[in-house]
Structures are given as C-alpha cells and as structure tokens.
C-alpha cells in the first residue's frame, strides 16, 4: 500500500516563527502536493512539484515556500508564521502516470498563536 | 474557470437511510470525476471514480454516475451505516496534469 506520512499530527507555533512541515511518500511517486483545509473552504492547493527540485505555485502560495531535494520528500515552509495560517495541512502524491488518484497523508493541524 | 459545486452539509441521516449527495461541475474540457472520503482524524482517500460520460463508479456500496448532459456526479448509497460518517469531497481533473479540483466537502452524520 502507498504510504504518505507527515512529520507531525499536531503543531503549535508562535507568530513569526519559521515552520517546517515534512511529507514523505514511499511509492516512488513523481508528483507531490501541499493543500490546506479550512472549514467552508475545502481544500486549496498551495504548491506542487512534478520532480526533484521543481516546484509550481498553486492557488494560494503567498506566505509559503517549498523544498524538494529528494523524490520522496516534499517540505512546506512557513517563513514567518501568522495566525491566519492556522489550518489543517494535507500532503498528497501521485504516480505521474496519469493515474489521477492522489494519495493523502493524515494531515498536520497547525495552530499559530 | 473549472469548478466543483456540492451540496452543503452537514447531512444527518438515520442508519439504513438512503443517501444522496449532489455534485455538479463546470469544466472546459472532458474531466475525470472522483469522490474522496475523509474519515475523522485521517487524510482523504479515493472512494470512487469515473473517467468518461455514462461511466458508473462504485465502491463500498456507494455509486455515482458521470452525467455529461447535466454535468453531474451525484453520490448515492442505498443503506448508510454509522461507519459512513465522514466528510465527502467531489472532485475533477482535466487530465492534463495530476492537479485535482475539489469541492468544499459535505459532512455526513449517521445516527444509530
């Protein structure tokens, strides 16, 4: 089975801190995605990556950056956390062979105080 | 732009009731359509999919039929269980890349 893991289930950070959210997949998938999930807004795409060292902006990239140094790992970085970044963050991956099924991690609930 | 609209929740039903969650889409091309489910405390997982008009996706007793004429992909189940309580997301992809456009989700509560 495909497994997508995220480094933390719950995280509490202070305003202005630099925050790293890590995502690792074990199925040699080409494509990886970061979403945030908020009540009433559904899932919104932050960034995605089709290959190592490649990144593309999603719908709401402001305030975030990403890093993909290895194929299996995709990191989301909040350069200076703000309270409006309190949210559930979900990572996903796909094989890149147009299977279109995204495999999701369990999510990280981030609270910025 | 391309989008997915699904009925707002929460939807509350008694066990063994019939379920319908409506989903309609707007797309410039010929999308593939999906239903994803998110159980409490978990990430999303694919429930079912349909890749062309008139296809029916099915899984775990759930069904949805790709209706091009009405641009719809409604989710149905004949007899729901308490364990079906979750958030359900309708989604589409335009098959150009692996990006998926999600609806806002519908929370389903099933009462014993």
Residues A58-85 pLDDT 10s: 999 999 999 999 999 999 999 999 999 9
The single residue listed with the structure tokens 């308490």 is B82
**Would you call B106 helix, strand, or coil by DSSP?**
strand
Which of B17, B38, B30 lies closest to B105, judged by CA?
B38
Strands (E), chain A: 4-6, 10-13, 19-25, 31-38, 42-49, 56-57, 64-70, 73-78, 87-94, 103-104, 108-112
Mean pLDDT of chain A: 92
Mean pLDDT of A28-34: 92
**Interface contact A112, partner B, CB < 8 A:** no
pLDDT digits (tens, 9 = 90+) for B1-59: 889 999 988 999 999 999 999 999 999 888 999 999 999 988 899 999 999 999 999 99
Considering only CA atoms, which of B40, B35, B27 is closest in space to residue B1?
A: B27
Quick check: A104 and B43 CB within 8 A? yes
- Which chain A residues are Cβ-neighbours of B87 within 8 angstroms? none
pLDDT surpasses 70 at A8: yes
- Class of residue B65 by CB neighbours under 10 A (exposed 0-12, middle 13-18, buried 19+): middle
> Is residue A2 scored above 70 in pLDDT?
no
Contacts of A29 in chain B (CB under 8 A): none
Q: Which residue has the higher pLDDT, B48 or A53?
A: B48
What Å distances lie between residue A62 and A32, A81, B89, CA to CA? 18, 12, 25
In this structure, the number of other CB atoms found within 10 A of the CB of residue A72 comes to: 16
Q: What is the pLDDT of residue A1?
A: 67
Chain B residues with CB inside 8 Å of A57's CB? none
- Which residues lie below 8 Å from residue B91, measured CB to CB, with a gap of 6+? B4, B33, B34, B35, B36, B100, B101, B102, B103
* Record: contact B41-A106, CB cut-off 8 A: yes
Least Cα separation, residue B17 to chain A (angstroms)? 26
Residue with tokens 């319908």: B20
Long-range CB contacts for residues A55-59, cutoff 8 Å, separation at least 24: A58/A33, A58/A34
């Amino acid at each position: 089975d495909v497994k997508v893991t995220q480094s933390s289930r719950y995280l509490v950070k202070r305003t202005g801190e630099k925050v790293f959210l890590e995502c690792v997949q074990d199925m040699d998938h080409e494509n990886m995605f970061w979403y945030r999930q908020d009540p009433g807004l559904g899932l919104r795409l932050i960034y995605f990556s089709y290959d190592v060292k490649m990144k593309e902006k999603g719908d709401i990239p402001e305030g975030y950056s990403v890093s993909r140094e290895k194929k299996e790992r995709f990191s989301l970085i909040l350069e200076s956390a703000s309270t409006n970044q309190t949210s559930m963050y979900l990572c996903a991956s796909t094989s890149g062979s147009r299977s279109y099924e995204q495999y999701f991690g369990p999510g990280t609930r981030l609270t910025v105080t | 732009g391309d989008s997915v609209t699904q009925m707002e929740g929460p939807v509350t039903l008694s066990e063994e009731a019939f379920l319908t969650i409506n989903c309609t889409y707007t797309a410039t091309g010929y999308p593939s359509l999906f239903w994803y489910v998110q159980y409490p405390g978990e990430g999303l997982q694919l429930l079912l999919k349909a890749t062309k008009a008139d296809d029916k996706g099915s899984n775990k007793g759930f069904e949805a039929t790709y209706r091009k004429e009405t641009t719809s992909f409604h989710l149905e189940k004949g007899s729901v269980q308490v364990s079906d309580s979750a958030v359900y997301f309708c989604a589409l992809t335009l098959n150009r890349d692996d990006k998926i456009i999600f609806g806002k989700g519908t929370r389903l509560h099933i009462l014993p």
